[in-house]
């Protein structure tokens, strides 16, 4: 009964990602798109929180690669453990998870 | 007398239209020969990030336009260091934007100045008019 959570707002500007991670259950997937993708850069102040979600809570984290490219973030700058997906991968995630919830 | 105008940029590009709108207003304002500065802080630092490639999200890459600001007499682009650090970025992640100094034999000089939060506060306090984006 896994859920796909989608976050599209910058985690430096809004608390959507924080709230999402506080509610995501073990086995759920969290996909960051649009301005939310800038949260996955290694070395940022969000690293501990993201690692806790992945390692402590077994939540799978994804980021949409076209949105990272738009903002000039290269794949090698993405925090280890976060998987990059393209639009086809986005569709696959919606299929693989029974439900989808957006955190606007 | 020329007034000091500051354009305050705090949002990442492409997710919202603020960055593009700010740039367009800056280019219009350049025609009025005021003393213009641009500030990039918080997520706004991403507006002048290197290597922006928004083709796959179906948007136009407007970042090369920042390189033209020098030709309009806009030579002060202030970037807040703390905002870079919080986001895992360094000055090397920013576009090397330059201008030609007409008072110095048209030597190319950097427009981007990475400054501290304290210095940014002082620059804000010095302005006559601030436009927020």
Give the burial class of B58: count Cβ atoms within 10 A of its Cβ; 0-12 exposed, 13-18 middle, 19 or more buried. exposed
The reported pLDDT for the residue numbered A52 is: 97
Contact B42, A13 (CB under 8 A): yes
Q: Which residues contact A4 (CB under 8 A, 6 or more apart)?
A: A28, A29, A30, A31, A93, A94, A96, A97, A99, A100, A101
Q: Answer whether A51 touches B (CB < 8 Å).
A: no
Determine whether the interchain pair B54/A70 forms a contact, defined as Cβ–Cβ distance below 8 Å. yes
Task: For the domain covering A3-103, report its CATH number.
Answer: 3.40.1260.10
Neighbours of A1 (CB within 10 A): 8
CA B120 to centroid of chain Cα atoms: 13
The reported pLDDT for the residue numbered B26 is: 95
A12, A35, A71: residue with CB nearest B86: A12
pLDDT in tens, B1-23: 789 999 999 999 999 999 999 99
Q: Answer whether B86 touches A (CB < 8 Å).
A: yes
Q: Tokens 């299929």, residue?
A: A95
Contact B79, B94 (CB under 8 A): yes
CA distance A83 to A28: 14
Q: Which residues contact A98 (CB under 8 A, 6 or more apart)?
A: A1, A2, A3
Smallest Cα distance from B59 to chain A, Å: 8
B15, B57, B88: residue with CB nearest A41: B88
> Quick check: A96 pLDDT over 90?
yes
Q: Answer whether A44 touches B (CB < 8 Å).
A: yes
Average pLDDT over residues B33-52: 96
- Tell me the domain boundaries of chain A: 3-103
Average pLDDT over residues A79-97: 98
A45, A73, A86: residue with CB nearest B86: A45
Strands A99-103 and A3-7: parallel
Q: Answer whether A82 touches B (CB < 8 Å).
A: no
CA distance A54 to B36: 45
B17 chain-A contacts, CB cut-off 8 A: none
Smallest Cα distance from A100 to chain B, Å: 21
Show the domains of chain B with their CATH numbers. Answer: 4-132 (3.40.1260.10)
Average pLDDT over residues B82-107: 97
Contact A80, A63 (CB under 8 A): no
pTM over 0.90: yes
Half-sphere exposure (Cβ direction) of B116: Cα atoms closer than 13 Å = 2
CA distance B96 to B75: 12
Q: Answer whether B50 touches A (CB < 8 Å).
A: yes
The reported pLDDT for the residue numbered B21 is: 97
């Amino acid at each position: 009964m896994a859920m796909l959570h989608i976050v599209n707002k910058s985690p430096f500007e809004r608390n959507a990602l924080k709230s999402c991670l506080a509610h995501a259950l073990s086995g759920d997937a969290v996909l960051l798109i649009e301005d939310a993708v800038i949260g996955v850069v290694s070395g940022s102040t969000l690293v501990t929180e993201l690692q806790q979600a992945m390692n402590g809570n077994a939540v799978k984290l994804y980021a949409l690669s076209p949105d990272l490219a738009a903002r000039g973030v290269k794949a090698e700058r993405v925090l280890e453990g976060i998987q990059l997906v393209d639009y086809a991968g986005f569709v696959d995630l919606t299929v693989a998870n029974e439900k989808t919830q957006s955190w606007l | 007398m020329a007034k000091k105008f500051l354009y305050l940029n705090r949002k990442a590009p492409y997710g919202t239209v603020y960055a593009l709108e700010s740039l367009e207003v800056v280019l219009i304002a350049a025609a009025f020969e005021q003393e213009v500065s641009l500030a990039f802080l918080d997520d706004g630092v991403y507006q002048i990030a290197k290597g922006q490639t928004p083709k796959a999200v179906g948007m136009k890459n407007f970042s090369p336009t920042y390189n033209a600001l020098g030709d309009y007499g806009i030579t002060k682009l202030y970037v807040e260091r703390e905002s870079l650090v919080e986001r895992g970025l360094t000055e090397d992640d920013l576009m090397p934007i330059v201008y030609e100094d007409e008072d110095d034999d048209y030597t190319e000089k950097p427009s981007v100045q990475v400054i501290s939060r304290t210095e940014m506060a002082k620059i804000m306090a010095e302005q006559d008019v601030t436009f927020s984006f």
